[in-house]
Amino acid sequence: MKIAPLYRAFKAVDSIVAKIVHTGQHYDAAMSDIFFQQLELPNPDYFLGIGGGTHTEQTAKIMLAFEPILIGEKADAVLVVGDVNSTLACTLVAIKYNIPVFHVEAGLRSGDRTMPEEVNRIMTDSVASELYVTEEAGMNHLQNEGVDSSKMHFVGNTMIDSLVWYLPKLDSVELDPALAELLDKKPILMTMHRPANVDTREGLEQLHKIIQTATEFGPIIMPMHPRTRNNLDKFGLWDEIKKTKELYITEPLGYLPFVKIMKSALAIITDSGGIQEESTYLGVPCLTFRTSTERPSTVDIGSNTMITEPNMKLLSELLFSIVAGNYKKANIPPLWDGHTATRIVEHISNKYASTDSVG
């Protein structure tokens, strides 16, 4: 979702040749291939097929596989997005060869260094040449870390670019008939996949309580992340969760069906980062079960509320306020306007591609 608008913007600039490397870190076809198809991206120029493993294994394998591509292409720059292991791995390889790194979605900080994503963000931002920031808090974080202000660019959010691009096309998106019927009932959309929530029996038992509490306010559609599904099996809780009334579990959904459901939802319950942003743009109430967020504008300006511990009383109160129409009013953060990728590519073109082609 972050790459698709950048791909379109690069295609419009003759002086830049952009090639896509898909590391395969997210290797499940339902969570990877389908996104390329629905987001109208071409087949990647390179697919590394890294697959699973520990954080260390993934990072190391990506670095080893990416290095010969970087050398063979004689790349002038490497653009990375987000905060996954691929982001850091490709950054480290490029920097070792003194190749500039452009980090899209820079400056986000949760303050929780037990999250692998937080470590990836901090390390990538510390060595990248250009930092493209999604929200004002990100600029403050980078400034507090002593980053040279000339590297920092407040440009907006490419996730929102994709959302703006595809919203007019949602009417033509077909859902499974059972899901389509649920949309008339204003369902609650739910996703949970972070280790803190799904990697222990205690976390999964709390997940069950969250589901039971939320179903008092309407049906739940829950696209099941493979990690969550596997752990429910591991701890012998799958059958118990599965038989919950008014809970509709699906396989992971593609981007467009997911956005269509999100747009029609009564509320969203999640531990995701990106969903906090998309729900804010859509004005759909979002209740996030995490101890911190790296996207504070979604709380301060948008539709997101943090639930920092599994508090069922608070969850009930918030859902009641949503049903009653008393939930806080959301606004859209600055520069979340659908034109972020254009701003990024214009900056790269003006600074790096004024005379020779950049690849």
Sign of the alpha-carbon dihedral angle for 131, 138, 197, 319 = negative
> What residues form DSSP beta bridges with 102?
79, 130
**Helix or strand run (H / E) with residue 38:** helix 33-38
Q: Where are the beta strands (DSSP E) in 200-359?
A: 220-223, 247-250, 267-270, 286-288, 304-306
* Structure token pair of residue 39: 């987001």
Q: Residues of 88-112 as b/e, b for ≥16 C-beta within 10 angstroms?
A: bbbbbbbbeeebbbbbbbbbbbbee
Active site residue 208: no
User: Which residue of the set 193, 225, 339, 347 is catalytic?
Assistant: 193
Give how far the C-alpha of residue 285 lies from the chain's centroid of Cα atoms, to the nearest Å.
Answer: 17
Exposed/middle/buried for 183, CB within 10 Å: 0-12, 13-18, 19+? Answer: middle
From residue 159, alpha-carbon distances to 169, 216, 273 in Å are 16, 32, 11
Distance from C-alpha of 69 to C-alpha of 294, rounded to nearest angstrom: 32
User: 158-166 vs 340-352: helix axis angle to the nearest 10?
Assistant: 130
Which residues are catalytically annotated? Answer: 193
